[in-house]
Structure 1
Amino acid sequence: MVFLSVSLQTFDDLYTYYDYVGYNVDPAQTSLAFCKIKFYLTYITAILPPSFMVLACIDRLLLSSRSATARSWSQPRFAYRSIGCVSLFWILFSIHSLFGSTIFSRLGYTQCYIQPGSYTLFVALYSIIINYFLPPTLMAIFGLLTIANIRQTQRRIHPMTRAGYLHRKDRHLLRMLLFQVLVNIICAIPGGGYQV
């Protein structure tokens, strides 16, 4: 899931980067359609990676649960469905950006930007809550619940050798996930502070 989210994030960046740096051309400055699509893709690619990280945290929480029913939800087919549903949700939820972006011309300089007025306030609040507050908070909550589940499980079960090997692998995966969550939270703080 994480590799998919990273790929989606770099897609938008690479598309505009090569045109702008290589040819000094930014189609979003001259075409209203490109301007709207650029903002739309920017919103989607900004929220999908943290959303996929939240899904990974939920998956680890389910996998660490003492309940067999909860653990049964931690399967690839449910992960794929979750990725599809979350992606569809953000694709539909971000449609507002198609209507809120436009090209401004001032002093012979054109710029693709959001429309001034109440939409600017909406975008600021949207960015703070959806991009900088909600994902890190959910990641932290699910990460802490996962740690609590693992500690409860370790107290109750003495694993056999093979189960201990699998348990170590799960602990390593959990450690990697928690490190990614911590890095994500640390990186989100400056952006959220800047938006405020």
Structure 2
Amino acid sequence: MPLLINITCYVTIYFGIFIYICGCFGSLLNIHILFSNRNNSSTFLLIYSSIVDCIVLNIGLLPRIFAVGFNTDLTLYNLLWCKIRTYLLRITSLIPLYSIALMSMDRFFISCRTVRWRQLSNIRFVRWMTFFVSFLIATEGLPFLILTKILQSNTSISCTPMYNPIFSKYASFFCIPVLYALPLVIMIAMGILIYHKLHNRTHLRRAQRSLTLIILLRILLALISCGPYTSYFVYSAIVVLSTPIKSAERIAIENFIISLLSTFLYITYSSSFFVHIFVSSAYRKQLMDLFKYYRNRHRAVIQPVQMVLTKFTQNNASTVKNNKQNN
């Protein structure tokens, strides 16, 4: 299947590089612009998610671009990097999804009429929940760090923990299908409830409505990019039970599909900045103010240098003129 391999390479290189550049640059701008408002619960989650997004893109997408597009995969030659990348990619790919789920819950709490529910939308509670969820994800991912090895056969070499039959079943039937599907289910449920609240409460402040729309759009993009990836692993887990032996052609097609889905999965981790730009006029104003600040700062640095050079030139000219007159 050379055609499928070529398509996979081109998609990974060109689309992957585009996602990587936009995602990293956008996440850094997000952190810079939103940091001043970090004591807001939803903004805190957006900043935390942007930080983890940068990590995902650098340890997940960038090495994937080099591995698939340029046949350069350091995980196949260094066991320590093989273990660290597998573990970090596991936990950092889950944390942003659960952060979006927590954002959706926070938006739901703040849109409730009941005071008791609204009180749950506070920075202290959100920080505690963020730490607790991140700790659970990091603990659950420890088998990926411990069991991952570099496996070499006559035809291939891979960095994987799936050689262990017990862990392989656990990963196929629980890790990916359940742990990726759970935040998506929370997002869908909270998204429906938030939309209902937003539709019936037109008196909500403009800033709150804008932030709620940002989170709803983040939920939609997460469903579009992560939904097919999760569905494929559910399908794979079912197929393993019914069809344990596959033809070479079917394996090639399935590898092609999972390669494309794995690349498109990174849309979730690179879209936050563009969602803010599209939805929030206040965010666009802050971004323009940031660009103006650095442009004026650049001019302020250049202008004194130009003044010094002009003054130096004038002094030299007057000195030459005086020397001529004296002669």
TM-score of Structure 1 vs Structure 2, range by shorter chain: 0.7 to 0.9
**Alpha-carbon distance, 1:153 to partner:** 4.8
Q: 1:18 Cα deviation (Å)?
A: 6.5
Q: After the TM superposition, which residues 1-196 of structure 1 pair with which residues of structure 2 at under 5 Å, given as runs?
A: 1-15=45-59, 17=62, 21=66, 26-107=73-154, 110-116=157-163, 117-125=165-173, 126-131=175-180, 133-151=181-199, 153=201, 164=203, 167-195=205-233, 196=235
- 1:87 deviates by 0.9
Post-superposition shift, 1:184?
Answer: 0.9
CA offset digits 1:33-82 (Å, max 9, x no partner): 32221111111011000000010001001100111122122122222222
For residues 90-131 of structure 1, what are the alpha-carbon distances to aligned partners after superposition, in whole Å with 9 as ceiling and x for unaligned?
111111212331111123854211232232222122211211
* Aligned mates of 2:128, 2:73 — CA distance in 1: 36
Offset at residue 167 of structure 1 (A): 2.1
Q: Deviations over 1:113-172 (max 9, x none)?
A: 1232232222122211211x2111110111222233445555xxxxxxxxx4x5232222
Mark the CA change 1:15 to 1:97 in structure 2 (over 3 Å): closer, same or farther.
Answer: closer
Tell me the SS of whatever aligns to 2:205: helix
Q: Secondary structure at the match of 1:107?
A: coil
Letter in 1 for 2:191: G
List alignment gaps of at least 5 residues for structure 1: 155-163
Q: CA deviation at 1:177?
A: 1.2
- The verdict on how the C-alpha distance between 1:119 and 1:19 changes in structure 2, with shifts beyond 3 A counting, is closer
SS at match of 1:146: helix
Which residue type is aligned with residue 13 of structure 1? L
Residues 35-44 or 168-177, more deviating: 168-177
Classify 1:18/1:119 alpha carbon distance in 2 versus 1 (closer, same or farther; 3 Å).
Answer: closer
Root-mean-square deviation (CA, aligned residues, Å) is: 2.6
For structure 2, the 5+ residue unaligned runs are 1-44, 236-327
**Equivalent-residue separation in structure 2 for 1:11 and 1:172 (angstroms):** 27
* 8 Å CA contact 2:76, 2:150 repeated in 1: yes
In 1, the alpha carbon distance for the partners of 2:151 and 2:57 equals 22
Using the size of structure 1 for normalisation, the TM-score is 0.81
**Aligned-residue offset at 1:15:** 4.2
Q: Which amino acid aligns with 1:134?
A: L
Residue identity opposite 2:192 in structure 1: L
Instruction: Give the aligned partner of residue 33 of structure 2.
Output: none
Distance 1:24 1:188 in 2: 26
Q: Secondary structure at the match of 2:112?
A: coil
> How high is the sequence identity, in percent, across the aligned residues?
22
Q: Could you tell me how far 1:26 is from its partner in structure 2?
A: 3.9
Alpha-carbon distance in structure 1 between the residues aligned to 2:191 and 2:57: 29
Cα distance in 1 for residues equivalent to 2:87 and 2:63: 19
Name the structure 1 match of 2:299. Answer: none
